[in-house]
Amino acid sequence: MKFSFARGVSRDSRRWSLWVLMVTLVVALLGILVWLAGRYESSMVQSRLEHDASETVTDIRSELTRNIQTFQALQSSERTPSSWHQSAIELLREHREIMRLEWRNEALEVQAFAETPYRTSVFERLGRSSMQADVSLTCTTARRLSGSAYSTSYFMPQPNGLGLEVMDMCLPIVAAGRITGFTIATYSLQDILSELVGKQLSRGVGLSFTEADGTRLALHGVPAKGSRIYIAQQLLDLPGNTMVVRMESRLGTPALFPNVLTALVTAMSLALIAVLFLFARDMRRRLRVENDLGEALAFRKAMEDSVLTGLRARDLQGRITYVNPAFCKMVGVEAKELLNHSFPSPYWPPELASMYQQRQEIRLAGNNLPREGHESVFMRRDGTRFPVLIMEAPLINAVGKHTGWMSAILDVSEQRRVEELSRASQDRLQATARLAMVGEMASLLSHELNQPLAAISSYATGSLNLLQGETAAEKPAAAPTPPLSEDLQLAMRRIAEQAERAGKVIKSVHDFVRRRDQVREAVQPRALLDAIMPLVSLQARKLGVRVVIEVDESCEPVLCDRTMVEQVLLNLSRNGMQAMQNLPEGAPPGGAAPQPGKVLTLRIRPAASNAHSRWVEFAVIDCGQGIAEDVAERLFTPFFTTKEEGMGLGLSLCRTVIEQHGGFLGFEAAEPQGTIFSFTLPAALAQDAGSERP
């Protein structure tokens, strides 16, 4: 026991010594890095200062050159001394670095001059004539160079006890290739530094003009305080004068030798590698245990991330403490937005948030929650709702303490969608069964009604023959036919025609139900209306509706199943008249004339065509109340009807008939009220139309 304790103490002391050694090396390395950073910063400051000094010289030279161009512009035209003086004053107001501006003739006699308005004359004490020798020398140099020349700087004492270092610039005035005079500008060296150098370059540094031997001529600005001075010098070479621009800056940095730095870094690196090797050997066993623990945690995390069930944990206050990726993907919200989030949750629908919060407070108030699931509705980030199944249970930690609640959430939206599809399939199957039953009934009725219709047609024909025979036998040859006999004959003919037409309708319906090939013929569009007008007129007279026919005579014959298309027109006409039967402008009793408000328009006109086919449009227009939006969505659905006695098959069959002809049946609102039902039929080709003519 004592040996084991001593071995543990020895291991701990060795580990601590390694830690101390490593910390010492790291601290030393950091100190070296700080020193290196200081050295690097010093070199960067020096480089930046050298660059700024070069930029300063460039700025001064550029501004002096720009001033020379301004002086040349000042003498560009014939000027009098007074006008030149006015222009010179304006120029001096814009250039503070120029102390005096002179216009001299070829003999260097002053023609006109101007002084800067910002200070007293620099030559007030000694006078301008004292510098005549320097001016002559400078202008001689300018004449020789055929351009501007600068004099050496000279000191001018001022009345206030101070002095000013200035220099002259002489620029020849050339006219017709001959020098006619000179422009002489007197610059203040200090103002050159303050006015011609950019503010960003002169901020925080000291600028000065010096001679080659280091004599300072002018100073502008004071460098910031520091323990080390950085100096950059650049040569300002002007025609006739050369000066040095000196820039100073201060910064506190250490100063060591670079070779010592290299040796220290190498030694510290070797020592650090040795300590790390020893430390790695001591930590090997601990890393093995940590790897085992990490693998266990990774395996558990992989299981949590792989399940499709959303997992959510709450603490005792209802705050979310854990969510897995499946839950975040389910609600479309990132985990960082959900963690530590209390009520209301961001995935609760706003309209259900209050109810959910009350339910959660009741559940969290109890110690034990039921383990069976309950259904709820969650909301994704985009606002879509989806149903979920939630199963909750108490969350117990390793020591058996109740710390919160764990929930498993299943997205059952796909299950609900499958159930809805199954329900819709059942409805479609029932509708299909009803349609099949209707087809069988139609076949049965067509078979059973053929014989009564044939009998009606035969009786009508026989009665017509008897009436014609009796009329011919009883009346003299020259006697006119009684009106009653003519009406009876007309009625019998109508009965025979309608019976024959009913037989054709039944046969067409039978062929339509049995999916047989339809017999199509080229028919004039007006003939289709004429065939149904007796029945339409009878229905219109009954309901007090006025029928208006609009036929474009340029319409071509259409290729169609005549009987089925006539039934479509008749069905749409009846629907249009029934849509207007509740209008206040109803027909008066006793068969009086209909009011003008109830009008049914039957219109035929050419429809849009292309290079391959032509179409004819049929339209039935009523003046009813129109079709509501909820009814319009289901108008052509089989077995859907708004009439008490209707079966809901009329419009559906009409659309099917038109689509079998290659056309389209649709509707739109009419102005100011009413509905327009229109359909298109293909125009017959020339050979098809010609084959049908007698």
Looking up residue 136, the CATH number of its domain turns out to be: 3.30.450.20
**Do 553 and 667 belong to one domain?**
yes
With tokens 């249970």, the residue in question is 393
Distance separating alpha carbons of residues 624 and 545, to the nearest angstrom: 11
Instruction: Tell me, yes or no, whether 562 lies in a domain.
Output: yes
**Do 512 and 540 belong to one domain?**
no
Per-residue pLDDT averaged across 566-587, rounded? 80
**Do 417 and 402 belong to one domain?**
no
Query: Could you read off the pLDDT of 184-207 as tens digits, one per residue?
Result: 999 998 888 888 888 877 777 888
Reported in sequence order, the residue ranges of 424-570 that DSSP labels E, i.e. its strands, are 521-523, 546-551, 558-560
Residue 385 binned pLDDT confidence (cut-offs 50, 70, 90): confident
The yes-or-no verdict on residue 170 having pLDDT over 90 is: yes
Predicted confidence at residue 149, as pLDDT, reads 92
Can you say whether the dihedral through the CA atoms of 509, 510, 513, 515 is positive or negative? negative
Instruction: Tell me, yes or no, whether 198 lies in a domain.
Output: yes
Show which of 482, 517, 552 is a domain's final residue: 517
The yes-or-no verdict on residue 168 having pLDDT over 70 is: yes
The yes-or-no verdict on residue 8 having pLDDT over 70 is: no
Predicted confidence at residue 10, as pLDDT, reads 65
**Do 339 and 455 belong to one domain?**
no
Predicted confidence at residue 258, as pLDDT, reads 46
Q: What is the full DSSP assignment across 373-387?
A: -EEEEEE-TTS-EEE
Bridge partners (DSSP) of residue 659 are: none
Q: Which phi and psi (to 5°) does residue 252 adopt?
A: -90, 110
- Tell me the two tokens of residue 316: 């005792």
**Do 491 and 563 belong to one domain?**
no
**Do 206 and 179 belong to one domain?**
yes
SS3 string, 399-441, reads: CCCEEEEEEEEEECHHHHHHHHHHHHHHHHHHHHHHHHHHHHH
Per-residue pLDDT averaged across 605-628, rounded? 82
Q: Which of 52-66, 498-512, 603-617 has the lowest mean pLDDT?
A: 498-512
Reported in sequence order, the residue ranges of 226-325 that DSSP labels E, i.e. its strands, are 229-238, 241-250, 310-315, 320-323
Per-residue pLDDT averaged across 208-222, rounded? 85
Per-residue pLDDT averaged across 5-9, rounded? 51
Instruction: Tell me, yes or no, whether 278 lies in a domain.
Output: no
The yes-or-no verdict on residue 654 having pLDDT over 80 is: yes
Distance separating alpha carbons of residues 344 and 312, to the nearest angstrom: 15
Residue 617 binned pLDDT confidence (cut-offs 50, 70, 90): very high
Q: Which of 161-175, 277-291, 544-558 has the lowest mean pLDDT?
A: 277-291
Show which of 493, 517, 541 is a domain's final residue: 517
Distance separating alpha carbons of residues 236 and 239, to the nearest angstrom: 10
More reliable by pLDDT, 687 or 605: 605
**Do 345 and 208 belong to one domain?**
no
**Do 85 and 72 belong to one domain?**
yes
Query: Could you read off the pLDDT of 58-86 as tens digits, one per residue?
Result: 988 999 999 988 888 887 767 788 888 88
Instruction: Tell me, yes or no, whether 256 lies in a domain.
Output: no
Predicted confidence at residue 294, as pLDDT, reads 80
The yes-or-no verdict on residue 523 having pLDDT over 60 is: yes
Residue 301: CB atoms within 10 Å? 11
Under a CB-based contact definition with an 8 Å cutoff, are residues 123 and 100 in contact? yes
- Tell me the two tokens of residue 320: 């979310």
Distance separating alpha carbons of residues 406 and 315, to the nearest angstrom: 9
Per-residue pLDDT averaged across 480-488, rounded? 59
Query: Could you read off the pLDDT of 459-481 as tens digits, one per residue?
Result: 667 676 666 665 555 555 545 55
Distance separating alpha carbons of residues 208 and 422, to the nearest angstrom: 94
Q: Which of 55-59, 274-278, 365-369, 651-655 has the lowest mean pLDDT?
A: 365-369
CA distances, 55 to each of 48, 202, 232, 528 (Å): 10, 11, 12, 98
Predicted confidence at residue 651, as pLDDT, reads 80
Q: Which phi and psi (to 5°) does residue 441 adopt?
A: -65, -40
CA distances, 480 to each of 139, 483, 485, 493 (Å): 144, 9, 11, 20
**Do 437 and 320 belong to one domain?**
no
The yes-or-no verdict on residue 619 having pLDDT over 70 is: yes
Residue 2 binned pLDDT confidence (cut-offs 50, 70, 90): very low
More reliable by pLDDT, 516 or 491: 491
Per-residue burial over 415-441, b if 16 or more Cβ lie within 10 Å, else e, is eeeeeeeeeeeeeeeeeeeeeeebbee
Distance separating alpha carbons of residues 528 and 608, to the nearest angstrom: 21
CATH of the domain at 620: 3.30.565.10
CA distances, 355 to each of 315, 343, 406, 410, 411 (Å): 20, 11, 21, 21, 20
Instruction: Tell me, yes or no, whether 652 lies in a domain.
Output: yes
Predicted confidence at residue 101, as pLDDT, reads 92
Report the residue count for the chain: 694
Per-residue pLDDT averaged across 403-410, rounded? 77
CATH of the domain at 425: 1.10.287.130
Query: Could you read off the pLDDT of 112-129 as tens digits, one per residue?
Result: 889 998 888 888 888 888
**Do 198 and 93 belong to one domain?**
yes
Show which of 517, 540, 561 is a domain's final residue: 517
| Structural domains of the chain, count | 4
Per-residue pLDDT averaged across 609-617, rounded? 74
Distance separating alpha carbons of residues 238 and 672, to the nearest angstrom: 93
More reliable by pLDDT, 420 or 460: 420
Residue 9 binned pLDDT confidence (cut-offs 50, 70, 90): low
Query: Could you read off the pLDDT of 305-326 as tens digits, one per residue?
Result: 777 777 888 777 778 878 888 7
**Do 457 and 329 belong to one domain?**
no
Instruction: Tell me, yes or no, whether 229 lies in a domain.
Output: yes
Enclosing domain of residue 663 = 518-691
Predicted confidence at residue 227, as pLDDT, reads 60
Amino acid at 43: S
**Do 548 and 648 belong to one domain?**
yes
Under a CB-based contact definition with an 8 Å cutoff, are residues 583 and 545 in contact? no
Mean pLDDT, the chain, integer: 76
Distance separating alpha carbons of residues 428 and 33, to the nearest angstrom: 81
Instruction: Tell me, yes or no, whether 299 lies in a domain.
Output: no
Q: Which phi and psi (to 5°) does residue 305 adopt?
A: -80, -20
The yes-or-no verdict on residue 92 having pLDDT over 80 is: yes
Per-residue pLDDT averaged across 651-672, rounded? 85
Instruction: Tell me, yes or no, whether 302 lies in a domain.
Output: no
More reliable by pLDDT, 357 or 455: 357
Percent of the chain with pLDDT over 90: 8
